[in-house]
Amino acid sequence: MPAVINPVASFSPLYAQIKALILARLQASEWLPGEAIPSEMELAARYLVSQGTVRKAIDELASESLLVRKQGKGTFVATHQREDWHYRFLRLAPDVGQQLLLKNHFLLCEIAKPNPRISQLLQLSAEEGLFRIERVQSFSGKPIVFEEIWLPVTRFEGLTLDALKSWPGLTYAFYESKYATHMVRAEEQIKATSLEASIACHLDLAIGSSVLSVERVAFTYGDQPVEVRRALYDTTEHHYENKLN
Amino acid sequence: MPAVINPVASFSPLYAQIKALILARLQASEWLPGEAIPSEMELAARYLVSQGTVRKAIDELASESLLVRKQGKGTFVATHQREDWHYRFLRLAPDVGQQLLLKNHFLLCEIAKPNPRISQLLQLSAEEGLFRIERVQSFSGKPIVFEEIWLPVTRFEGLTLDALKSWPGLTYAFYESKYATHMVRAEEQIKATSLEASIACHLDLAIGSSVLSVERVAFTYGDQPVEVRRALYDTTEHHYENKLN
DNA sequence: CAGTGGTCTAGACCACACT
DNA sequence: GTGTGGTCTAGACCACTGC
In this prediction the pTM is 0.92
pLDDT of residue A9: 39
Residues B67, B76 contacting (CB under 8 angstroms): yes
Question: In chain A, what is the greatest distance between 2 CA atoms, to the nearest angstrom?
Answer: 70
Residue A192 to residue B187, Cβ atoms within 8 A: no
Mean of the pLDDT values across residues A87-110? 91
User: Which chain A residues have a beta carbon less than 8 Å from that of B91?
Assistant: 242, 244
CA-based nearest distance A219→chain B, Å: 10
Residue B242 to residue A244, Cβ atoms within 8 A: no
User: What strand order describes the sheet that includes A183-194?
Assistant: A103-111, A130-139, A142-152, A224-233, A210-220, A183-194, B238-244, B92-94
User: Which chain A residues have a beta carbon less than 8 Å from that of B13?
Assistant: none
Q: Worst-scoring range by mean pLDDT, A85-94, A202-211, B94-103? A: B94-103
The string of pLDDT tens digits covering residues B215-231 is 999 999 999 999 999 99
User: Which chain A residues have a beta carbon less than 8 Å from that of B233?
Assistant: 192
| Helices B14-27 & B40-47 angle (0-180, nearest 10) | 110
Residue nearest to nucleotide D3 (CA to C1'): A72
The CA–C1' separation of A44 and D4, in angstroms, is 14
pLDDT of residue B140: 87
State yes or no: pLDDT of A175 exceeds 60.
yes
Helix (H) / strand (E) element for A201: namely helix A197-203
* CA A24 to chain centroid: 18
The whole-angstrom separation of Cα B148 and Cα B134 is: 5
Q: Choose the closest CB to A190 out of B64, B89, B240.
A: B240
The whole-angstrom separation of Cα A193 and Cα B73 is: 48
The string of pLDDT tens digits covering residues A34-53 is 999 999 999 999 999 999 99
Closest listed residue to residue A98, CA positions, set A112, A83, A109, A87: A87
pLDDT of residue B5: 41
By CB atoms closer than 10 A (0-12, 13-18, 19+), residue A150 is buried
Residue A191 to residue B243, Cβ atoms within 8 A: no
CA-based nearest distance A84→chain B, Å: 15
pLDDT above 70 covers what percent of chain B? 96
State yes or no: pLDDT of B82 exceeds 60.
yes
The whole-angstrom separation of Cα B159 and Cα B80 is: 19
State yes or no: pLDDT of B3 exceeds 60.
no
The CA–C1' separation of A74 and D12, in angstroms, is 31
pLDDT of residue A97: 86
pLDDT of residue A6: 39
**Residue B86 binned pLDDT confidence (cut-offs 50, 70, 90):** confident
The string of pLDDT tens digits covering residues B40-60 is 999 999 999 999 999 999 999
Positive/negative CA dihedral, B96, B100, B103, B107: positive
Q: Worst-scoring range by mean pLDDT, A3-7, A32-36, B151-155? A: A3-7
User: Which chain B residues have a beta carbon less than 8 Å from that of A65?
Assistant: 245
Mean of the pLDDT values across residues B114-121? 96
Mean of the pLDDT values across residues B4-15? 61
State yes or no: pLDDT of A4 exceeds 60.
no
The whole-angstrom separation of Cα A191 and Cα B191 is: 9
pLDDT of residue A101: 84
Residue A63, Ramachandran bin (φ over 0: left; ψ between -120 and 50: alpha; else beta): alpha
Q: What's chain B's average pLDDT?
A: 93
Q: Choose the closest CB to B210 out of A210, A233, A240.
A: A210
3-state secondary structure of B211: strand
Residues B187, B181 contacting (CB under 8 angstroms): no
pLDDT of residue B228: 98
Q: Choose the closest CB to A245 out of B65, B211, B244.
A: B65
Beta pairing partners, B132:
B110, B150
pLDDT of residue A3: 43
Domains and CATH numbers, chain B: 14-77 (1.10.10.10), 83-240 (3.40.1410.10)
Q: Own/partner pairs for B51-55, CB < 8 Å, 24+ apart?
A: B53/B2, B53/B14, B53/B15, B53/B18, B54/B15, B54/B18
**Per-residue burial over B167-184, b = 16 or more CB atoms within 10 Å of its CB, e = otherwise:** beebbbbbbbbeeebbbb
State yes or no: pLDDT of A229 exceeds 60.
yes
Query: At residue B242, what is the residue type?
Result: N
pLDDT of residue A38: 98
The whole-angstrom separation of Cα A216 and Cα B23 is: 37
pLDDT of residue B85: 84
A56 CB closer than 7 A to any strand C atom: yes
Residues A74, A37 contacting (CB under 8 angstroms): yes
pLDDT of residue B6: 41
The CA–C1' separation of B52 and C2, in angstroms, is 21
Which DSSP state fits A113? Answer: P
